């Protein structure tokens, strides 16, 4: 019997690579023959020769889509999904809750779908597979770099012959992986950093990385909003109203706000209303890592765009920041996806075991059945008030 084939697929507009050349070694060691779509690594500065040097073969998109195991970063176009069928497994950040129709069709055609978003993030042995966390860490770092580019002053305290320039005051909303990385990066760059999260354990982490915890009237530090799986529980209507009012008052004291609060399988919580952003001084900057098709943490943010409000505040809708650091993001993602593939394989072939905890989380469809609630037609969970991914978008954002 011929060795099973793993194919590395590119996604239009995506600069990250699902597999870096060094990752080919891991797949071949697991008994797979590796095909890489020509040019699939170009966005991350990997050439086809880099892959063939590790024993992969380059191939057309059609050939890759016919592989037993198809690896991607983000979801392929619907036309590609329609070509998948029985005996094939698609692995990637598939976003099953967003426009589930094309994925549902692939599931009904018999393809196995493994969504990295479903990796159990509180399970220690799954950490190497946690793509949401790895990509969120990249995004949190880049969020501060983008804020510094847009800000009209210095981040650190500077003492010059012309006088003293005060440091920027930077607020991070949401202390998951992205938020904590943003705090750490801003701290290293010399900003005066404050963080906010509704979970008590996250507030402790904010202090542990050198930031102050936001204190403002209406933000009850004694409130325990911790939920399951490391995420925050949904806030009540009164809690959400009090939170937004308090943040609107507090935000005016900051030069930069980085918003990094996301929830699993639901729209991100609205934290900074348009009124709150209007209260910030002209020249202030808001970077919204949650900005996406279902909204963001900052009301004025527009996904993928940088806008300026009438009051002179720059708002950056930055839900896909990890892709702007493609080399580092690809290296981390490649380790995540090879770790998951190794977990799915038995004797070189995918062996689905829905009783196993990790597979139960990531396998969104198998054997012609849709397993993820969104693919099965279940209603979307309600928006949460200030939930923050414990390990991210991912903060995934995402991824």
Catalytic residue (one of 127, 278, 306, 327): 127
**Exposure of 374 in the CB half-sphere (CA atoms within 13 A):** 20
Strand partners, 113: 90, 365
Nearest residue to 261 via CA among 236, 285, 237, 225 = 225
Catalytic residue (one of 133, 135, 137, 398): 133
Nearest residue to 395 via CA among 295, 319, 336, 309 = 319
The SS3 of residue 372 is coil
133 is catalytic: yes
137 is catalytic: no
Q: How far apart, in whole angstroms, are the C-alpha atoms of residue 361 and residue 85?
A: 21
CA 272, distance to chain mean position in Å, is 20
For the chain, helix (H) and strand (E) counts, in that order, are: 12, 19
Catalytic residue (one of 15, 75, 121, 279): 121
Q: How far apart, in whole angstroms, are the C-alpha atoms of residue 332 and residue 203?
A: 27
Q: How far apart, in whole angstroms, are the C-alpha atoms of residue 396 and residue 154?
A: 28
Nearest residue to 168 via CA among 323, 185, 51 = 185
Residues 11 and 64: beta-carbon distance below 8 Å: no
DSSP-assigned states of every residue in 254-318:
-SEEEE----TTSPPPP-B-HHHHHHSPTT-EEEETT-BTTB-SBTT--TT-EEE-TTS-EEEE-
Catalytic residue (one of 141, 231, 255, 395): 231
First-last CA distance in the chain: 37
Q: How far apart, in whole angstroms, are the C-alpha atoms of residue 89 and residue 252?
A: 49
Catalytic residue (one of 68, 130, 197, 288): 130
181 is catalytic: no
Greatest C-alpha distance within the chain = 76
130 is catalytic: yes
The SS3 of residue 173 is strand
* Distance set, CA 351 to CA 226, 276, 347 (Å): 35, 51, 9
Question: In this structure, what are the phi and psi dihedrals at residue 93, rounded to the nearest 5 degrees?
Answer: -85, 90
327 is catalytic: no
Q: Do the strands 112-115 and 169-173 form a parallel or antiparallel pair, or are they unpaired?
A: unpaired
Active centre residues (catalytic):
121, 127, 130, 133, 231
């Amino acid at each position: 019997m011929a060795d099973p084939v793993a194919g590395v697929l590119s996604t239009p507009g995506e600069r990250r690579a699902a597999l870096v050349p060094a990752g080919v070694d891991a797949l071949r060691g697991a008994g797979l023959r590796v095909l890489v779509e020509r040019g699939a690594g170009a966005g991350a500065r990997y050439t086809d020769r880099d892959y063939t040097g590790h024993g992969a073969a380059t191939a057309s998109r059609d050939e890759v889509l016919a592989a037993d195991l198809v690896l991607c970063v983000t979801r392929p176009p619907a036309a590609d999904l329609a070509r998948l069928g029985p005996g094939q497994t698609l692995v990637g950040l598939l976003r099953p809750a967003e426009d589930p129709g094309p994925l549902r069709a692939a599931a009904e055609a018999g393809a196995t779908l493994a969504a990295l978003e479903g990796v159990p993030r509180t399970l220690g042995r799954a950490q190497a597979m946690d793509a949401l966390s790895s990509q969120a860490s990249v995004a949190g770092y880049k969020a501060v770099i983008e804020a510094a580019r847009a800000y009209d002053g210095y981040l650190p305290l500077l003492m010059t012959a012309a006088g003293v320039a005060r440091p920027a005051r930077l607020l991070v909303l949401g202390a998951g992986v992205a938020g904590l990385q943003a705090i750490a990066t801003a701290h290293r760059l010399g900003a005066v950093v404050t963080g906010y999260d509704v979970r008590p354990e996250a507030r402790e982490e904010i202090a542990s990385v050198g930031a102050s915890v936001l204190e403002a009237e209406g933000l009850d530090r004694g409130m325990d909003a911790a939920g399951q799986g490391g995420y925050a529980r949904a806030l009540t209507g009164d809690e959400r109203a009090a939170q937004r009012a308090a943040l609107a008052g507090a935000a005016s004291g900051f030069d930069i706000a980085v918003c990094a609060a996301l929830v699993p399988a639901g729209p991100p919580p609205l934290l900074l209303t348009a009124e709150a952003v209007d209260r910030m001084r002209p020249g202030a900057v808001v970077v919204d890592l949650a900005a996406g098709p279902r909204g963001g943490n900052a009301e004025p943010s527009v996904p993928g765009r940088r806008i300026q409000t009438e009051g002179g505040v720059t708002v950056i809708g930055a839900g896909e920041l990890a892709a702007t650091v493609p080399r580092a993001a690809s290296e981390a993602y490649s380790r995540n996806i090879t770790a998951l593939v190794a977990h799915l394989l038995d004797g070189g072939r995918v062996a689905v075991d829905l009783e196993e905890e990790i597979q139960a989380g990531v396998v969104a469809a198998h054997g012609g059945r849709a397993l993820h609630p969104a693919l099965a037609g279940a209603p979307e969970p309600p928006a949460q008030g200030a939930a923050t991914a414990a390990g991210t978008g991912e903060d995934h954002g995402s991824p």
